[in-house]
Structure 1
Amino acid sequence: MPIVFLLGFVLLSMLSLILGAQQLQWSELVNFSSETWLILTASRLPRLFAIILTGVGLAICGVILQQIVRNRFVEAGTTGGLDAARLGVLVALSLLPDVSMMGRMLFALTFCFIASLIFIAIVQRIQFRNSLLIPVIGLMYGSILAALAEFYAYQNNMLQSMQGWLLGDFSRVVQGHYELMYIIVPMVILSYIFAQRFTVIGMGNDTASSLGVNYNMMAVIGLLIVATTVAISVISVGAIPFVGLVVPHLVAMKYGDNLKKTLPIVALGGASLLLLCDIVGRLILYPFEVPIALTAGGVGGLLFFILIFRRIRT
C-alpha cells in the first residue's frame, strides 16, 4: 500500500479530531482535564470511527457490486440499494414504531437485498451494448424506489422527519449511539476472505464456472455483505452517495482488478474520501456543519461526471 495514502489518511484523521464547534486544548488533554477528555471520547473519537467504518464499508460495497454486475459505474446509490434501505426503515417505523435499531437494520437489509437482486435480474435480462446505460437504468430504478419511500412517508405523516434523519450526517454520532456500525468490521473481513472469488466472478458466469467458482452463491454472499453494510450505514448516519462508485473506479484504473491486492487500498480510499468530505462540510459554514451527504454528493458527483466524460471520449 502506498505510504502517501497512509500519511494522508492519518493527517485527515487528526484534522477530524481537532475540528469542532468547541476547540480542543491539547494541553488540557495532557493534564487529563475531565471536560476535554469527555469531548474527545464521547464525541470526536466515535465520530472519527463512524466516518472510517462508513467510508470503508461503502467503498468495498461498490467493489463487490461492480464485480457482480461487471460494470464500473454502479454502487449502492446507482442500483437502488440506498433507496430500498430507506424504504425498509420507513416500513419498520410505521409497522413497529418501537422497533429497536437492530430491527430497523433487518428491515433495511431485507429491502436492500431484494432490490439488489431485482436490479441484477434486470441487468442480466437486458443486453447492454453501452456500459453507461447500466447506471442510468440503476438511477431510474432508484428514483422509483425513492418515490415509493416518499409516498409511503407522506401517507404515514413521516415526510418532514424523513428528510432529516435519512440525510447522511455525522453530527449526531456520539458514544452509545453508533456501536452498531462495528458490524461493518466482519463484513469487511468477509470481503477480503472472498476477494479472490469476487475477482473471478467479475470475469463472468462461464469463466467463473470453468475455474470452479459458484457464481450464484458468490453473488448472493456479495449482495448480503452489501445489504448489511448499506443497512447499517443508513440506520446509523443516513444515506451517503457516490463513495462506492468513484473510489473503486479510481483504484482499478491505477492498480488493476485483483481485489486481493487492491481491497486494502479501496478501503483506505473510501475512508479518506469520506473524512475529506466531512472536514469540508465542517469548515464551509464554521462553526455550523453541512451534512456530509451534500458534500459527498457534490464531490462524488463531480468525480462521477469526470469519469463518464473520460469514458465517452475514449
Structure 2
Amino acid sequence: MTASLRRLRPRVITAAALSLCLLASLVTAIALGAVPIAFGDILAALIGTPLDGFSGDIVRAIRLPRALLAAGVGAVLAVCGAYLQGMFRNPLADPSLIGVTAGASVGASAAIVLGGGVLGAVGDLSLVSLGAFAGGLVAVWLVYRVATGINGTSVATMLLMGIAVTALAASLTGLMDYFADNESLRRMSLWRMGGLDGATGARAVVMLAVLALLLISMMRVSRGLNTLLLGESQARHLGVDVERLKNLLIVLVALGVGVSVAVAGSIGFVGLVVPHMIRLCVGPDHRALVPLSALGGASLLLLADTFARTIMAPTELPVGLVTALIGAPFFVFLLARHRELIR
C-alpha cells in the first residue's frame, strides 16, 4: 500500500500543478490583450452581467472562443503526440511523422493558390481549412496503404513512408510557392506558421469535441499502449490485438491532427515536447500520461498564444513560431538534465 501511494504521489502533484496552470493560463488569456480586462469583469461577462463599454462583448465573442480553441488544439496535439510515442515506442516521436501536417500544408497551399481571391467558406470553415483537412487525410491514407500488408501494419514502414510523404509534400508546396503571386505567397507563409486569429465559438466546440473523443478512447488504448512498450510480440502473447490497436491509433491521430491543422494552421513542437516532459515527471503509464499531456498541451498553447498577442501588440506573432521559441530551449534543457532517463 505504501509503495502504491508512493507511485501515486507524483501523479497527484503533477495533475494538481497542471490544473492550476491551465486555470491561470485561461484567465490570463482572457484578461490580457489590446484592452486589459479585470478579473471581476471577466466573471461578470461569463455569467451574462451587463458591463459598461465593450468588455462583455470582447470576452464572450473574441477572447473566450480563442482561449478555448487554443486549449483544445494544444491538448489534442499533446494527446496525439503521446499516442504516437507509445505506438512507435520512441519518446521523440511527433505527430508530423505520419505525414499529416505536411499533407495538410499541401492542401491549404493548393486552396490558396487555386482559389486565388475567390475563396469562400463552407459552414464555419474556410476552403483553406477544408483543403488542409483533406490534404492531411490523403497523406495519412497513403502512409497507411503502403505500410499495411498481409502481415499487418509495419511501424517501421509507416515511419519511412511518413518521411517520404513529407519530402514529397515539401516539393509540392515549394512548387506552389514558386508559381504563386505575392499575396498568395504571404498567405501560405503565414498559414504554415500557425495562428488562432480565426477562432470562433463553433471552431472551439468542434475542437473540444475531438478532444473529448480522444480522451474517451484513452480508456480503450491505454492498457494496450502500456503492454506495447514491451514489444509487439510480447503484447500479442499477453492478449493485445496489436493490429487493431495500431489502426485505431492511426485513425485517432489523423483525426486529431487533421482538425487541429485545419482550424489553427501548422503548430509544431507541442506534440513532441509536452508528452516527453510529462513522461519525465510521472513515468510511461499512459493512464496518467495521456490526460496529463492534455492539461500540459492546453496550458502551453494558451500561454504561447497570449504571448504572441501581447508581446508586440497590436501586431500578432504567429503562435507556431512562439511554441518553437518557448519549447525548443526548454526541451534542450530537459534532455541535458535527464539524459540518463531516455537512453
Q: TM-score per shorter chain, which class?
A: 0.7 to 0.9
- In 2, Cα distance between the equivalents of 1:279 and 1:139? 33
- In 1, Cα distance between the equivalents of 2:230 and 2:109? 37
1:283 maps to 310
- In 2, Cα distance between the equivalents of 1:98 and 1:18? 32
Distance 1:47-1:98 versus aligned 2 partners, 3 A rule = closer
Counterpart among 58, 65, 68 of residue 49 in structure 1: 68
Which stretch has the larger CA shift, 93-102 or 183-192? 93-102
Deviations 1:115-150 (A, max 9, x none): 553689786259xxxxxxx89x97786354223223
Q: Is the Cα–Cα contact under 8 Å of residues 102 and 136 in structure 2 kept in the other structure?
A: no
Question: CA offset at residue 114 of structure 1?
Answer: 2.7
- In 2, Cα distance between the equivalents of 1:97 and 1:21? 29
Q: Is the Cα–Cα contact under 8 Å of residues 85 and 230 in structure 1 kept in the other structure?
A: no
Distance 1:248-1:27 versus aligned 2 partners, 3 A rule = closer
* Residue-pair matches, total: 306
2:5 maps to none
Where 1:194 maps in the other structure, the secondary structure is: helix
2:198 maps to 172
Is residue 15 from structure 1 mapped to residue 28 from structure 2 by the alignment? Answer: yes
Q: Is the Cα–Cα contact under 8 Å of residues 109 and 227 in structure 1 kept in the other structure?
A: yes
Which stretch has the larger CA shift, 157-166 or 6-15? 157-166
Distance 1:179-1:109 versus aligned 2 partners, 3 A rule = farther
Is residue 33 from structure 1 mapped to residue 51 from structure 2 by the alignment? Answer: yes
- In 2, Cα distance between the equivalents of 1:166 and 1:287? 21
1:258 maps to 285
1:218 maps to 245
2:261 maps to 234
Q: Is there any run of 5+ residues in structure 2 with no aligned partner, and where?
A: 1-11
Is residue 161 from structure 1 mapped to residue 182 from structure 2 by the alignment? Answer: no
Deviations 1:86-140 (A, max 9, x none): 22344566499667348546513422423553689786259xxxxxxx89x9778
- In 2, Cα distance between the equivalents of 1:190 and 1:122? 22
- In 1, Cα distance between the equivalents of 2:26 and 2:256? 22
Matches within 5 A, 1:1-314: 1-2=12-13, 3-24=16-37, 30=44, 32-33=50-51, 35-91=54-110, 94=114, 100=122, 101=125, 103-104=130-131, 106-114=133-141, 116-117=143-144, 124=156, 142-152=166-176, 154-155=178-179, 158-184=184-210, 185-306=212-333, 309=336, 311=339
Question: CA offset at residue 38 of structure 1?
Answer: 1.3
Distance 1:217-1:123 versus aligned 2 partners, 3 A rule = closer
Q: Is there any run of 5+ residues in structure 1 with no aligned partner, and where?
A: 127-133
Question: CA offset at residue 162 of structure 1?
Answer: 1.5
Q: Is the Cα–Cα contact under 8 Å of residues 72 and 204 in structure 2 kept in the other structure?
A: no
Which stretch has the larger CA shift, 238-247 or 16-25? 16-25
Where 1:61 maps in the other structure, the secondary structure is: helix
Q: Is the Cα–Cα contact under 8 Å of residues 98 and 140 in structure 2 kept in the other structure?
A: no
Q: Is the Cα–Cα contact under 8 Å of residues 102 and 165 in structure 2 kept in the other structure?
A: no
Q: Is the Cα–Cα contact under 8 Å of residues 82 and 234 in structure 1 kept in the other structure?
A: yes
Question: CA offset at residue 32 of structure 1?
Answer: 1.1
RMSD: 3.3
The one-letter code of the counterpart of 2:309 is: R
Q: Is the Cα–Cα contact under 8 Å of residues 130 and 262 in structure 2 kept in the other structure?
A: no
Question: CA offset at residue 230 of structure 1?
Answer: 0.9
Deviations 1:144-166 (A, max 9, x none): 42232232454566433222234
Q: Is the Cα–Cα contact under 8 Å of residues 139 and 165 in structure 2 kept in the other structure?
A: no
- In 2, Cα distance between the equivalents of 1:77 and 1:306? 23
Which stretch has the larger CA shift, 157-166 or 278-287? 157-166
Distance 1:99-1:206 versus aligned 2 partners, 3 A rule = farther
- In 2, Cα distance between the equivalents of 1:265 and 1:110? 27
